[in-house]
């Protein structure tokens, strides 16, 4: 039986969701126009005023916000309310060093925690569950978000935070944790450790896991589900938009429902900024229509994904986003297929290789070629040639199923891949040279 | 006693084997035996050395991926049918051979030496010993 935290809104008819979005967007645009001079200036530059926005259909008229804006406006430039009305900040490290600092009013926190509560109930959670939050607590949004959501559902909450694996396992076994919240890589690691300690899936009391904050593959999901004996649910979010719970998976495990009563999602062409029709793959853009302290309008996530409004078997009517395929800033187009280094990395890590690889794209006889060089590791090496060959074949197969494209894999010596400031140079695109 | 073979990953391009032999030479490590298995883009070189511990360390320091594998070494009288008798014993004991290679002793010219990689070195060794074929120890190999 599917459980909902707020069934009325989570399963509302489309027209009602649209009406809510229209009304909230108008208010939000006016709020930002009046209280966030940084964004008002951007609107003026584009020649738009709140009077031009009559419904969510006019969203496309508004200017985008990006990581660059966050950097320029740091720390208070995008603040929408007086500081005395803010009760908390959360923060994440930006890619270029400057941190993102997001502000919250009490209402902002309440709606964020409600989103997390929806995710926990979609994973089958009730007030009879024991929910262990093994995301980091502190500036990182993972711990505080799921912690708040768990309280709202009424679960017995175990705030272990991240790390100290043996203590995590002690709590899982002794207090019979039923729901685990952490990053997928940590879940995989916990599973490994529990197996080492002799716990099989039937001994482990867990029934569900809510895993997010990093990219993970279907393969990894199946592995985790098998080792821990659980159903694993994906959750998505960004500090800029609140934190985890912007969207979450339901029992159908076929994409994450975006909480559309709080966020409007668009898919745009990352190059032109043009809004793309439903079903297209492109950059995900979010408008937070409720958040007052840090009101992001048309925030470019850089995540490349697809939206679908197809009916979901769980009964929820909110649009679903597919797992992001990668980042728009490092997307490669090879033989017409979008390829992200992160996808290749996922396959490598899933199969036991290290993330030391190089992607070489070239063009021969008018056809793109994809070569992946992978450094050999002690873990993947044996004295048996057939075995090493078999593992290499498995890697080629894994890449093919992830990318939909055949890659030529070469195993190379450790540390033979060119490095820049200690990190391997990931992509060499000879087509551009 | 099984002995330790060092298996090293090599890229299949000019000079890589030479790079490895150079590292060993610079550290005065003596190779007793060497065998190479390769595909078109990589190879595995298997070596028996006099000082396994030092060899493994210097290879690692030089960024080679190397692993240790227990193998069985036998001295075989250099005469017709010498190897055949030993292999008969392998067959009768149902020992599964993954690969094997030969080398000649230095001072000792009366014996040929064979290295065998089997799936379970310990039980193979016991079974063969019971039939009078005693595997060489690490010590004995170092002294050849
Ligand atoms: Zn659903």
Contact A381 B41 (CB under 8 A): no
Residues, Cβ < 5 Å to ion ligand 1: A 250, 252, 312, 314, 316
Listed in order, the ranges of chain A carrying CATH 3.30.300.30 are 332-429
* pLDDT higher at A414 or A10: A10
Q: Are residues B97 and B121 in the same domain?
A: yes
Q: Are residues B42 and B87 in the same domain?
A: no
Interface size between A and B, measured as CB pairs under 8 A: 50
Q: A260 C-alpha to center of ligand 1: Å?
A: 13
Percentage of chain A exceeding pLDDT 90: 73
Is the pLDDT at A423 greater than 90? The verdict is no
Domain-ending residue, one of B33, B51, B69: B69
Q: Are residues B93 and B62 in the same domain?
A: no
Average pLDDT value for residue range A323-344: 80
* pLDDT higher at A343 or A179: A179
CATH class of residue range A1-328: alpha beta
| Domain that residue B125 falls in | 71-143
* pLDDT higher at A427 or A129: A129
Query: What is the reported pLDDT for A225?
Result: 96
Query: What is the reported pLDDT for A95?
Result: 45
Contact A388 B65 (CB under 8 A): no
Is the pLDDT at A356 greater than 50? The verdict is yes
| DSSP-derived 3-state class of residue B117 | strand
Average pLDDT value for residue range A127-137: 96
Domain-ending residue, one of B69, B95, B121: B69
Chain B contact for A410 (CB, 8 A cutoff): yes
Chain B contact for A389 (CB, 8 A cutoff): yes
Average pLDDT value for residue range A223-240: 95
| DSSP-derived 3-state class of residue B70 | strand
Q: A3 — phi, psi (to 5°)?
A: -110, 145
In this structure, how many other beta carbons lie within 10 angstroms of the beta carbon of residue A3? 17
Query: What is the reported pLDDT for A283?
Result: 95
Mutate to test the interface with B, among A379, A413, A415, A419 (most CBs of B within 10 A): A413
Classify residue A64 by its DSSP letter. P
Q: A320 C-alpha to center of ligand 1: Å?
A: 8
Highest mean pLDDT pick, A68-72, A185-189, A293-297, B60-64: A293-297
For residue range B89-105, what is the model confidence (pLDDT) as tens digits?
899 989 889 999 988 76
Q: How far apart are CA A130 and CA A175, in angstroms?
A: 8
Average pLDDT value for residue range A273-300: 96
Average pLDDT value for residue range A280-306: 95
Contact A413 B7 (CB under 8 A): no
Is residue A408 within 8 Å of residue A370, measured between CB atoms? Answer: yes
Q: How far apart are CA B91 and CA B118, in angstroms?
A: 12
Highest mean pLDDT pick, A201-205, A222-226, A329-333, A427-431: A201-205
Q: Are residues B84 and B57 in the same domain?
A: no
| pLDDT band per the 50, 70, 90 thresholds, residue A78 | very high
The stretches in chain B having pLDDT less than 70 are 1, 105-108
Query: What is the reported pLDDT for B41?
Result: 86
Contact B39 A385 (CB under 8 A): yes
Average the pLDDT over each of A13-17, A212-216, A319-323 and give the range with the smallest value: A212-216
Q: How far apart are CA A190 and CA A197, in angstroms?
A: 10
Alpha helix ranges (H) inside A47-164:
67-73, 106-122, 142-153
Contact B11 A411 (CB under 8 A): yes
Q: A90 C-alpha to center of ligand 1: Å?
A: 29
CATH of domain A332-429: 3.30.300.30
Directed axis angle between helix A14-35 and helix A37-46, to 10°? 100
Q: Are residues B34 and B94 in the same domain?
A: no
| C-alpha dihedral (A51, A55, A56, A61), degrees to nearest 10 | -30
| CA angle in degrees (0–180, nearest 5) for A379-A383-A389 | 80
Is the pLDDT at A414 greater than 90? The verdict is no
Which residues of chain B neighbour A383 with C-beta distances below 8 Å?
5, 7, 44, 46, 67, 69, 117
| pLDDT band per the 50, 70, 90 thresholds, residue A331 | confident
Query: What is the reported pLDDT for A180?
Result: 98
Contact B37 A385 (CB under 8 A): yes
> pTM for the complete prediction?
0.67
In A250-330, the DSSP E strands lie at: 256-258, 263-268, 281-288, 299-308, 320-321, 326-327
Mutate to test the interface with A, among B42, B60, B63, B99 (most CBs of A within 10 A): B42
For residue range A386-395, what is the model confidence (pLDDT) as tens digits?
999 999 999 9
Q: Retrieve residue A174's tokens.
A: 């002794």
Listed in order, the ranges of chain A carrying CATH 3.40.50.12780 are 1-328
Q: Are residues B64 and B88 in the same domain?
A: no
| pLDDT band per the 50, 70, 90 thresholds, residue A98 | low
**Smallest CA–CA separation between A255 and chain B, in Å?**
40
Q: Retrieve residue A2's tokens.
A: 């599917």
Q: Could you tell me which residues come within 8 angstroms of residue A311 by beta carbon, excluding any fewer than 6 positions away?
A: none
Contact B39 A382 (CB under 8 A): no
Of residues A376, A383, A413, nearest to B117 (C-beta)? A383
Q: Are residues B58 and B92 in the same domain?
A: no
Q: Are residues B40 and B97 in the same domain?
A: no
Contact A381 B37 (CB under 8 A): no
Q: Are residues B91 and B55 in the same domain?
A: no
Query: What is the reported pLDDT for A214?
Result: 76
Identify the CA nearest to A396 among candidates B79, B37, B10, B41: B41
Contact A413 B10 (CB under 8 A): yes
Q: Are residues B96 and B121 in the same domain?
A: yes
Which residues of chain A neighbour B66 with C-beta distances below 8 Å?
378, 381
Q: What is the number of structural domains in chain B?
A: 2
Contact B63 A410 (CB under 8 A): no
Q: Give the CATH number, domain containing residue B95.
A: 3.30.2130.10
Query: What is the reported pLDDT for A215?
Result: 72
């Amino acid at each position: 039986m599917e459980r909902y935290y707020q069934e009325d809104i989570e399963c509302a008819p489309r027209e009602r969701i649209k009406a809510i979005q229209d009304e909230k967007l108008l208010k939000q645009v006016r709020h930002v126009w009046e209280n966030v001079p940084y964004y008002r200036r951007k609107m003026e530059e584009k020649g738009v005023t709140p009077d031009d926005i009559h419904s969510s259909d006019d969203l496309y008229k508004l200017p985008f916000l990006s990581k660059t804006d966050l950097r320029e406006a740091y720390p208070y430039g995008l603040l929408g309310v007086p500081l005395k009305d803010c009760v908390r900040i959360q923060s994440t490290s930006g890619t270029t060093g400057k941190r993102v600092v997001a502000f919250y009013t009490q209402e902002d926190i309440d709606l964020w925690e409600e989103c997390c509560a929806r995710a926990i109930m979609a994973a089958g959670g009730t007030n009879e569950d024991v929910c262990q939050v093994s995301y980091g607590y502190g500036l990182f949004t993972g711990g505080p978000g799921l912690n708040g959501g768990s309280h709202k559902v009424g679960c017995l909450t175990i705030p272990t935070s991240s790390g100290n694996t043996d203590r995590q396992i002690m709590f899982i076994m002794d207090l019979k944790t039923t729901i685990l919240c952490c990053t997928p890589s940590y879940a995989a690691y916990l599973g490994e450790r529990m197996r080492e300690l002799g716990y099989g899936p039937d001994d482990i009391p867990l029934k569900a896991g809510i895993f997010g904050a990093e990219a993970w593959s279907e393969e990894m999901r199946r592995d985790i589900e098998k080792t821990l004996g659980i159903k694993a649910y994906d959750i998505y979010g960004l500090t800029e938009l609140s934190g985890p719970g912007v969207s979450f998976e339901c029992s159908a495990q076929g994409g994450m429902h975006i909480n559309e009563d709080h966020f409007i999602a668009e898919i745009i062409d990352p190059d032109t900024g043009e809004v793309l029709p439903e079903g297209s793959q492109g950059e995900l853009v979010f408008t937070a229509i409720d958040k007052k302290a840090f009101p992001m309008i048309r925030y470019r996530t850089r995540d490349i994904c697809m939206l679908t409004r197809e009916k979901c078997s769980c009964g929820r009517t909110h649009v679903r986003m597919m797992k992001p395929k990668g980042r728009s800033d490092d997307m490669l187009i090879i033989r017409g297929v979008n390829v992200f280094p992160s996808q290749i990395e996922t396959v490598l890590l899933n199969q036991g290789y290290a993330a030391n690889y190089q992607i070489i794209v070239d063009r021969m006889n008018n056809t793109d070629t994809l070569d992946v060089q992978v450094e050999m590791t002690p873990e993947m090496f044996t004295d048996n040639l057939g075995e090493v060959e078999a593992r290499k074949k498995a890697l080629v197969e894994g890449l093919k199923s992830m990318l939909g494209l055949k890659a030529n894999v070469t195993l190379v010596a450790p540390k033979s891949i060119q490095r820049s400031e200690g990190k391997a140079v990931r992509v060499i695109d000879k087509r551009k040279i | 006693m099984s002995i330790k073979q060092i298996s090293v990953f090599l890229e299949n391009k000019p000079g890589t084997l030479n790079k490895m032999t150079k590292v060993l030479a610079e550290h005065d490590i003596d190779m007793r035996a060497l065998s190479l298995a390769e595909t078109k883009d990589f190879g595995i070189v298997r070596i028996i050395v006099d000082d396994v511990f030092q060899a493994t360390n210097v290879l690692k320091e030089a960024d080679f991926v190397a692993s240790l594998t227990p193998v069985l070494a036998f001295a075989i009288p250099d005469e017709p049918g010498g190897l055949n008798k030993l292999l008969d014993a392998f067959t009768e004991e149902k020992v599964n051979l993954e690969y094997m290679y030969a080398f000649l002793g230095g001072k000792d010219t009366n014996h040929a030496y064979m290295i065998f990689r089997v799936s379970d070195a310990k039980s193979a060794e016991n079974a063969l010993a019971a039939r009078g074929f005693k595997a060489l120890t690490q010590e004995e190999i170092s002294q050849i």
